[in-house]
Structure 1
């Protein structure tokens, strides 16, 4: 008899320091959103998400969350130019006092704005390195994980790879998304799935996060009116 099995997962533990996550294109930003939400479910403190490549889809984040109240400790900001993006990171690094103690900082598409038409050459490189340094400073001073993604892997993004203490890759496999240590030292996660569950569907990731919420004994059944803070 052929039976279906819902996805279960152990998501990678996020350690203090800068973690670079490279995700297969067809998986999009959803694995990073799952890491973010899982971190909120399992801990206290604020999560700050600074986006540089139009990846901060707050509608999808809300759809993925097991309960709206999970979103109450997430602040989201978007940069639309390189100068705006740098300013956001500077403001974030400067405002994180004891009251705003972060538990996680996420910066998606960190290199995106510095590849744009508004800056070029040496200035773009300098601003990109400054952005990396701001995030590394947050990780060091507050001893928290900082998760970053990049738009593409090339010579320009190499400083980000050098700054990251951990490099994870999320690959699409026939059994679901697999997080791996890019150095090949360990395999951190395999999602198991069967009939009717595709690794890229919203329902798949919702089920994974519900499973994680039950593990944390987090509230999941009653949705409240909490909203994502967009700055």
Structure 2
């Protein structure tokens, strides 16, 4: 697919502290969430933690998106393959963060995925799922940081996750590319723009956005350093 286009306007949603539920069109996969994670790492101190429950933590794609390998030094990824493993990972994360500095962001993709599996009965699955939601909400509250969560399906089972989220974003595929939109309809973030009608691949777009954001963050850091008086 041709990739010739005007440089896109590099805008991504500003994530407020709290739990942010992001529903992403299937066609886009996990890439928009990865872009949000990397953007937060670029603009904030502290490590990022990604706990995956839907086998979507593609680290190869994450490396392709990162504007520099050093950015990935602050990203830790863990996967749970059963409901009990997933709950244990979130419990361990809560305990680990209690003994260290606050993270820049926490991501939990497919938070409901493992609790839909057949290895636990329905009642226990619901209990474990509520416990998982409580864990991510506690991280957001105690550390005052954004926690990005996604779900495998929107239904009665995942409704408690929607209720726990303070923000609900939708990332949709449009004829012009991906777009983030606040589910409340109050705000909309266009993240793709061309003037000549040419399309470009989603991965190429997100990478260009993140490279642009990296330059913005580096310029801001240099400006703050230059403005700081030296020690006498």
Query: Above 0.5 in TM-score?
Result: yes
Q: Return the offset for 1:97.
A: 3.0
**Number of residue equivalences:** 215
CA RMSD of aligned residues (A): 1.5
What is the CA–CA distance in structure 2 between the aligned matches of 1:84 and 1:100, rounded to whole Å? 25
Stretches of structure 2 lacking an aligned partner (at least 5 in a row): 220-232
Q: Return the offset for 1:188.
A: 2.8
Q: Is the 8 A contact 1:56 1:76 kept in 2?
A: yes
Alignment correspondent of 1:228? none
1:134-193 superposed Cα distances (whole Å, 9 cap, x missing partner)? 100111111111000000101100000000000000011122211010011111333213
Alignment correspondent of 2:200? 198
Alignment correspondent of 2:227? none
**Taking structure 2 as the reference length, what is the TM-score of the superposition?**
0.89
Alignment correspondent of 1:58? 59
Stretches of structure 1 lacking an aligned partner (at least 5 in a row): 219-231
Query: Pairwise mapping of residues 135-214 of structure 1 onto structure 2 (< 5 A)?
Result: 135-193=136-194, 194-200=196-202, 202-214=203-215
**Taking structure 1 as the reference length, what is the TM-score of the superposition?**
0.89
Q: Is the 8 A contact 2:5 2:200 kept in 1?
A: no
What is the CA–CA distance in structure 1 between the aligned matches of 2:44 and 2:18, rounded to whole Å? 17
- Which structure carries more helix by proportion? 2
- Mean Cα deviation higher: 100-109 or 31-40: 100-109
Q: Return the offset for 1:120.
A: 2.3
What is the CA–CA distance in structure 1 between the aligned matches of 2:113 and 2:45, rounded to whole Å? 30
Please state if 1:49 is matched with 2:40: no
Q: Is the 8 A contact 1:12 1:189 kept in 2?
A: no
Q: Return the offset for 1:7.
A: 2.0
SS of aligned partner of 1:101: coil
What is the CA–CA distance in structure 2 between the aligned matches of 1:119 and 1:8, rounded to whole Å? 46
What is the CA–CA distance in structure 1 between the aligned matches of 2:143 and 2:198, rounded to whole Å? 42
